[in-house]
Amino acid sequence: MRFNKKKFIYIISPLKINKTFYSDLIKILKQKKVSFFQLRLKRQRFEKKLIIGKKIKKICKKYGVKFLVNDDVYLAKKLSADGCHLGQKDMNISKARKIIGKKIIGITCHNSIKLAKKAIKNRANYLAFGAFNYSRTKKVKYMASINLLQKARKITKLPIVAIGGINLRNYQKLLLNKANFLAISGYIWNNKKLKPFDAIKKLK
């Protein structure tokens, strides 16, 4: 998996897709800072996710952004997504591989080098660590540190994704300490001061 230093953003969708979402997404992706978009809809029915996913996939393809699906390998397969992201309680990698083949599979490793080593052994395509900061998007069970990023970099060349409460104040520290991508959601979609386009524009 190649990565471009200028395209360090990994966007996670809002939990609800509103009317302005698609036009906001186009404005964001036009800035050429995003490498990945992850569809993360927990409460929607499969059919609804399919409709939304098809629209987003089209936009992602136009702007050269990899389209991933959170948790649901079958949805990723149905959408012919570029891959999926799996948590520790989701399907294991070997089973997921049988369903989606050589597509991208990213693994949540929380704050654990042990989980990272397991994911590397199982041939994950990237490792996600966090939370690095408290987040309003998701309840934080595991806190990760900069030291963890440095340890992870010593054991693998796989891309590392940092997640959790990432915003304008703290993003540069993570990039300077070996994170390849920053998974961001709340700062973009729930920002009370900045519109999604402006929020992304400020991350340089």
The model's pLDDT over 57-72, given as tens digits with 9 standing for 90+, comes to 999 999 999 999 999 9
Alpha helices in the chain (DSSP H): 21-29, 46-62, 73-79, 93-100, 113-121, 146-155, 171-176, 186-189, 196-201
In the predicted model, what is the mean pLDDT of the chain?
A: 95
Query: Confidence band (pLDDT; 50, 70, 90) for 1?
Result: low
The pLDDT, as a whole number, for residue 3 is: 62
Helix count (H) and strand count (E) of the chain?
A: 9, 8
Arithmetic mean of pLDDT, 4-23: 93
9-199 under CATH 3.20.20.70, yes or no: yes
Domain residue ranges in the chain: 9-199
Q: Is the pLDDT of residue 16 over 80?
A: yes
Query: Confidence band (pLDDT; 50, 70, 90) for 136?
Result: confident
Arithmetic mean of pLDDT, 187-197: 96
The pLDDT, as a whole number, for residue 2 is: 63
Query: Confidence band (pLDDT; 50, 70, 90) for 124?
Result: very high
